[in-house]
């Protein structure tokens, strides 16, 4: 099928493009390249540079191509930054997605897989987190994703657009081929920061908070390998093509957590570098423990992880970082 991947030049989107190509699909990437990298778009995917905030630019894609389904990764995704610039988060994540959905409706394209987030839950009531738990985001980022989930519900009801919203926990790791991986600027995520320190890009790392009520005092997160995450997108895409497919929402994680200090320990072992660690104050807005219940995705989507080990996640990321110390488009 012909799949439109919005945000296909970004970290997660580029892995989706790789998987779709491997499965023989034809792929159009729509990306503003504000955060995405041209080098992340593997051939023969076709890149259209454009911005979802422009109805005309996204509308043209549907006029020029016969799209069967959409995977939508394009968004701003930093919790802290969203608190500083909520207007930009609403405009890009919510208005941008509305422009996409309007263009889909006008073109009669009725299937979308949407990247949502564990941030829709805010501070969880119970661990592991099931999809029925209350959604009370603690940031404009989480709010913007929840607003889109709600928009999807009403666009389904009125216009028949079927969606699967996937609430990601902590995505990490890289394609085993080593050609694409996580490359943000600035980088705020723990695993690439730890690996950057192992490469000598920084002096060491800071762990935000050692006084949480967890096994070792540092925060606990459910890290999911980007390859497994993308497998779930392909399963979702296929499910949307089944007769009588209904819209759905699923958590994507493994149902277990690692503390920040455990991540550093594992990274030290894999990189064989003695990464310097400094304990620092808590980062505002960080819940202490986020662990998914992936049961619904396992049961209904057939989610079946293949890379479910911290070793697999960190070593694949390490392979990418070692070979791309200055990122995807940096000079070696
Ligand atoms: N973290 C940290 N030092 C860093 C970056 C992140 O201690 O330099 C912590 C962060 O406070 C959180 C965990 O690592 O407890 C995961 O953060 P990340 O930003 O990777 O993902 P998030 O859980 O915010 O989506």
Helical axes 226-240 vs 11-22, angle rounded to 10° = 60
Q: Is the CB of 188 under 6 A from ligand 1?
A: yes
Among 208, 216, 226, residue to substitute to test ligand 1 (most atoms within 8 Å of Cβ): 208
CB 224 within 8 A of CB 307: no
Q: Is the CB of 293 under 6 A from ligand 1?
A: no
- Give the Å distance between the CA of 242 and the centre of ligand 1: 38
- Give the Å distance between the CA of 188 and the centre of ligand 1: 7
CB 18 within 8 A of CB 11: no
Q: Is the CB of 288 under 6 A from ligand 1?
A: no
In the chain, % helix, strand, coil (3-state, to 5) comes to 40, 20, 40
Confidence label for 95 from pLDDT (cuts 50, 70 and 90): very high
Read off the pLDDT of each residue in 285-293 and give the average, rounded to a whole number. 93
What is the residue with the minimal CA distance to atom 3 of ligand 1? 207
For the chain, the average pLDDT equals 96
Q: Is the CB of 205 under 6 A from ligand 1?
A: yes
pLDDT of amino acid 332: 45
Q: Is the CB of 35 under 6 A from ligand 1?
A: no
Q: Is the CB of 170 under 6 A from ligand 1?
A: yes
Q: Is the CB of 225 under 6 A from ligand 1?
A: no
Active-site residue, from 89, 141, 163, 250: 141
Read off the pLDDT of each residue in 168-182 and give the average, rounded to a whole number. 96
pLDDT in tens, 200-228: 999 999 999 999 999 999 999 999 999 99
DSSP-derived 3-state class of residue 301: helix
Is residue 223 part of the annotated active site? The answer reads: no
Task: Find residue 31's DSSP bridge partners.
Answer: 49
Confidence label for 331 from pLDDT (cuts 50, 70 and 90): low
Half-sphere exposure in the Cβ direction for 114 (13 Å, CA): 31
- Give the Å distance between the CA of 191 and the centre of ligand 1: 8
What is the residue with the minimal CA distance to atom 18 of ligand 1? 189
Q: Taking the complete model, does pTM exceed 0.85, yes or no?
A: yes
Confidence label for 185 from pLDDT (cuts 50, 70 and 90): confident
Backbone angles phi, psi at 120, to 5 degrees: -70, -20
In whole angstroms, how far apart are CA 310 and each of 148, 253, 266, 269, 315?
31, 13, 8, 11, 8
Nearest to 170 by CA among 189, 185, 188, 186: 189
Read off the pLDDT of each residue in 288-300 and give the average, rounded to a whole number. 97
CA–CA separation, 59 and 63 (whole Å): 6
Read off the pLDDT of each residue in 292-296 and give the average, rounded to a whole number. 98
153-157-158-162 Cα dihedral, nearest 10 degrees: 70
- Give the Å distance between the CA of 190 and the centre of ligand 1: 5
Among 260, 263, 264, residue to substitute to test ligand 1 (most atoms within 8 Å of Cβ): 260
What is the residue with the minimal CA distance to atom 2 of ligand 1? 207
Nearest to 293 by CA among 131, 120, 122, 118: 131
Confidence label for 285 from pLDDT (cuts 50, 70 and 90): confident
Nearest to 262 by CA among 308, 221, 211: 221
Q: Where are the beta strands (DSSP E) in the chain?
A: 2-6, 26-31, 46-49, 69-72, 111-117, 162-168, 170-172, 205-208, 220-221, 223-225, 248-252, 258-259, 277-280, 289-290
- Give the Å distance between the CA of 324 and the centre of ligand 1: 22
pLDDT of amino acid 247: 98
Q: Is the CB of 283 under 6 A from ligand 1?
A: yes
Calculate what percentage of the chain has a pLDDT beyond 90: 95
- Give the Å distance between the CA of 102 and the centre of ligand 1: 35
CB 184 within 8 A of CB 133: no
């Amino acid at each position: 099928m012909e799949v439109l991947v919005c945000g296909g030049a970004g970290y997660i989107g580029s892995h989706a493009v790789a998987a779709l190509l491997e499965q023989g699909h034809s792929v159009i990437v729509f990306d503003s390249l504000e955060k995405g990298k041209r080098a992340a778009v593997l051939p023969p995917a076709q890149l259209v540079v454009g911005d979802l905030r422009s109805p005309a630019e996204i509308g043209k894609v549907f006029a020029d191509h016969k799209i069967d389904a959409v995977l939508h990764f394009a968004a701003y995704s930093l919790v802290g930054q969203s608190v500083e610039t909520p207007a930009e988060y609403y405009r890009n994540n919510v208005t941008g997605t509305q422009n996409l959905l309007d263009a889909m409706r006008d073109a009669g394209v009725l299937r979308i897989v949407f990247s949502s987030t564990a941030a829709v839950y805010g501070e969880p009531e119970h661990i592991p987190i099931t999809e029925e738990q209350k959604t009370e985001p603690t940031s404009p980022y989480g709010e913007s994703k929840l607003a889109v989930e709600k928009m999807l519900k009403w666009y389904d009801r009125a216009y028949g657009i079927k969606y699967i919203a996937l609430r990601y926990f902590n995505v990490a790791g890289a394609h085993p081929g080593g050609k694409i991986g996580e490359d943000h600027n600035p980088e705020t995520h723990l695993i690439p920061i730890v690996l950057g320190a192992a490469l000598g890009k920084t002096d060491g790392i800071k762990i935000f908070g050692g006084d949480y009520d967890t096994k070792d005092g540092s925060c606990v997160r459910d890290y999911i390998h980007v390859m497994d995450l993308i497998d779930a997108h392909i399963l979702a895409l296929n499910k949307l093509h089944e007769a009588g497919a209904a819209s759905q929402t699923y958590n994507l994680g493994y149902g277990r957590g690692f503390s920040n200090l455990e991540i550093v320990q594992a990274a030290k072992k894999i990189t064989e570098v003695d990464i310097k660690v400094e304990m620092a104050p808590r980062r505002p807005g960080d819940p202490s423990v986020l662990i998914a219940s992936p049961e619904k995705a396992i049961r209904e989507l057939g989610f079946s992880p293949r890379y479910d080990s911290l070793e697999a996640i960190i070593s694949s990321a390490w392979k990418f970082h070692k070979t791309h110390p200055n990122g995807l488009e940096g000079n070696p």
